[in-house]
Amino acid sequence: MDAVDSEIKTRRFLSRVLRDHYSSLDLYLPYRFTRREFAFVYMGGKGMHRPVAFSTKKEASEFLIKKTPLHAYYSTAYYSDPKVPMKNKEWLGADLVFDLDADHLPGGDVLSYPEQLEEVRKKTRLLIHDFLMGDFGFDEDELHLYFSGHRGYHIHIRSKKVLNMSSQARREVVDYITGIGLDVTEILPSEDIEVDSFMEFKKIAKSPKLPGEDVGGWGKKMRKLTIQLLERWSKMERDSVLKEMKEKHKIGDSTADGLYKELYDKEKWKRVKEEGTLDIFPEQGKVNVNSFKGIIEGVLDEKNIREIGSQIIGTTDEPVTGDIKRLIRLPTSIHGGSFLEVTPININEFADFDPLEKAIPKCLSTDKKELVMKKLPELNEIKVGGEYIEFDEKMTVPEFAAPFIISKYRAKLL
């Protein structure tokens, strides 16, 4: 079969998958869908078909079966009349949406696709539990989580608290989450301690402390990260801890040695953990509280925080969250770049969610398909639908894996 025939055969196969998917689908339509704009991109088409509006679920289902779009979107905003041109639309409010994608993941370009999915999943869980439910206090039933269909996740917040937020207010939410403008020197509280006395006169100094256990926001994260750091160091060899103090926290040789002795030889790190006090070091020599304070402020440094794994710097697509008229992928639709389904996810089941298992269109069978690849990916194999697929110039794969490999890795049908 020549290249042209292979191309035609592949396009027909993908078109059939789209038709079968939408014909067998129990379509998911978003809350108040009659107030939302829809938009579509078609295979071989030019540009985006918008605005589209639906008055019933049946109307939307019939449209998808007939048009078989390669990509399907809907507006995060609500409009009085969603089918009119944008300049004539009356805006009624919008969901607050977060788009986490491997494109925004530090170092994500050197990870394999499965590694990207795993890293973004970790960051999404941190965003949900540490920030949205933790710091902002959203209830679980206000959060709606979806696999994006390709390399990340979408979180939609539907709540009266966010409905009419301005674009600027939404960007400030992202700034808070990503730590933009965060002054870590302002997070550490202090206490008055007596450092000297003469008769009735007392010399009082300010001593920094860890934020209290009842503190929220970034103070809570600083306390958590500091305790994680101290516990991690307590399990490491002395030389490794000293190396990290010197290289990552820019502590001098003598000071690092003194800090280690006070923290671990004398086990004062446990007092820091239990009482939050940092004033545990002798003032003579180069060992003092300011050196340790610098380390604690450093745990919220972007470079260090990535290693500890309790930040989501760089993963959130800020324009999506700040945009009050954004289009986002329609749940249960097919993502044309992967032919995986944009999948709704129960937050309680997210820890075990595997897109290459759960997001495969259910219309696909176990029949075999022969594929040819012009360029092999760097990874040797990938697990799709519970089956390991080895990449080769010519390969036979189950039908349920074929659309993904064709769209993601540029394979063609033989």
pLDDT tens digits for range 251-270:
888 888 888 988 899 998 99
Between residues 312 and 183, which one has the greater pLDDT? Answer: 183
- Residue 199 is predicted with a pLDDT of 64
- Residue 308 is predicted with a pLDDT of 40
Query: At 11, is the secondary structure helix, strand, or coil?
Result: helix
Given pLDDT bands bounded at 50, 70 and 90, which one contains residue 320? confident
What is the rounded average pLDDT of the residues 149-165?
93
The pLDDT of residue 413 is above 90? yes
Nearest-Å Rg of the Cα atoms of the chain is 27
DSSP for 103-114? GGSTTGGGS-HH
Q: At what angle do helices 3-24 and 57-67 cross, to 10 degrees?
A: 170
Going from the C-alpha of 299 to that of each of 186, 193, 224, 319, 395, the distances in angstroms are 14, 25, 10, 28, 48
- Residue 313 is predicted with a pLDDT of 46
Residue with tokens 């659309």: 403
Residue with tokens 């280690």: 260
The pLDDT of residue 195 is above 60? no
Given pLDDT bands bounded at 50, 70 and 90, which one contains residue 301? low
- Residue 101 is predicted with a pLDDT of 87
Cα(127)–Cα(122) distance, rounded to whole angstroms?
9
Query: At 119, is the secondary structure helix, strand, or coil?
Result: helix
Name the residues annotated as catalytic: 99, 101, 317
Cα(14)–Cα(369) distance, rounded to whole angstroms?
12
Q: How far is CA 104 from the centre of its chain?
A: 9
Kindly state the percentage of the chain with pLDDT values over 90.
56
The pLDDT of residue 312 is above 70? no
- Residue 208 is predicted with a pLDDT of 75
Between residues 82 and 195, which one has the greater pLDDT? Answer: 82
pLDDT in tens, 321-368: 888 899 999 999 999 999 999 999 999 999 999 999 999 999 999 999
Between residues 250 and 393, which one has the greater pLDDT? Answer: 393
pLDDT in tens, 218-231: 888 888 888 988 99
Mean pLDDT for all residues in the chain: 87
Domains and CATH numbers, the chain: 22-176+315-363 (3.90.920.10), 184-308 (1.10.8)
- Residue 216 is predicted with a pLDDT of 81
The pLDDT of residue 285 is above 50? no
pLDDT in tens, 196-247: 566 667 666 667 788 888 888 888 888 888 898 899 999 999 999 999 988 8
Cα(309)–Cα(296) distance, rounded to whole angstroms?
16
- Residue 224 is predicted with a pLDDT of 85
| Sequence-ordered strand ranges (E) for 76-112 | 77-79, 91-94, 96-101
- Residue 194 is predicted with a pLDDT of 61
Given pLDDT bands bounded at 50, 70 and 90, which one contains residue 281? low
Cα(278)–Cα(125) distance, rounded to whole angstroms?
31
Instruction: Check if the beta carbon of residue 271 is closer than 8 Å to that of residue 280.
Output: yes
Ranking 37-46, 289-298, 374-383, 401-410 by mean pLDDT, the lowest is: 289-298
Between residues 384 and 245, which one has the greater pLDDT? Answer: 384
- Residue 197 is predicted with a pLDDT of 62
